[in-house]
Amino acid sequence: MRPLDENETTVVFEKIFKFVGNNLKNIVENPSHEGPEPEAGRYCFRLQRNRVFYVSESLVKRATNISRKNLISLGTCIGKYTHAGSFHLTIMSLNLLAANAKHKVWLKPTSEMSFLYGNHVLKGGLGRITDSIVPGDGVVVFSMSDVPLGFGIAAKSTQDCRKLDPNGIVVLHQADIGEYLRDEDEL
């Protein structure tokens, strides 16, 4: 387990910034109540076995006892580095993103299952959408009852969405909670 170095930190922050924008400050400076001390510590990022973890400092201190090959996970895993060296956010970061997301999309009940199978979000399945979405922004997908379902990249801006035909893709799928069942091994 080691802290992220400069490059890695920038890459990770960039990815998160797409989804949360200025709330990135909240994420980094969130007081954490984890750990046995009654005072709140801070969160930090750590790299372990190509996975980036968002974890409270007090946990980090106590995890130093555990040797590298025996440490599997700390706190929340937010993403992993591929062999090629690029960083992807995984579904396990959903809670963190959903709490701080700037761009959101709500799906109709009929198209929930389709998204959970890994398909992209189509215009016909769109219930609500926040304004000021630019293509290429990170979007968090919710169900109508505000259950976070996953996230993706916006394909069209909000304005364009209105003009789109029902089969047009609005959000490109990146990760959804159905992966807990479909891709258990990948996680």
Query: What CA–CA distances, in Å, run from 169 to 43, 76, 143?
Result: 36, 31, 17
How many residues in the chain? Answer: 187
**Size, binding site for other proteins by CB under 8 A:** 41
Residue 166, interface with other proteins (CB under 8 A)? no
Residue 36, interface with other proteins (CB under 8 A)? yes
* Interface residue with other proteins, options 58, 97, 121, 173 (CB under 8 A): 58
Site string for other proteins, 69-108 (x = CB under 8 A): xxxxxxxxx--------------x--x-------------
User: Distance (Å, rounded) from C-alpha 123 to C-alpha 161?
Assistant: 7
Neighbouring CB atoms inside 10 A of 20's CB total 21
Nearest to 180 by CA among 138, 150, 143: 150
Residue 35, interface with other proteins (CB under 8 A)? yes
Residue 34, interface with other proteins (CB under 8 A)? yes
Looking at the Cβ atoms of 77 and 161, the one nearer to other proteins is 77
Asked if residue 176 lies in contact with residue 98, where contact means CB atoms within 8 angstroms, the answer is: no
Nearest to 59 by CA among 29, 89, 37, 80: 37
Backbone phi, psi, residue 73, to 5°: -155, 150
- 156, HSE (Cβ side, Cα atoms, 13 Å): 18
Q: Of the ranges 21-29, 51-59, 80-88, 133-141, which one interacts with other proteins (CB under 8 A)? A: 51-59
Residue 110, interface with other proteins (CB under 8 A)? no
* Interface residue with other proteins, options 49, 62, 88, 128 (CB under 8 A): 62
List interacting residues with other proteins (CB under 8 A): 33-38, 55-56, 58-59, 62-63, 65-67, 69-77, 92, 95, 112-113, 116, 143, 145, 147-149, 177-178, 180-181, 184-185, 187
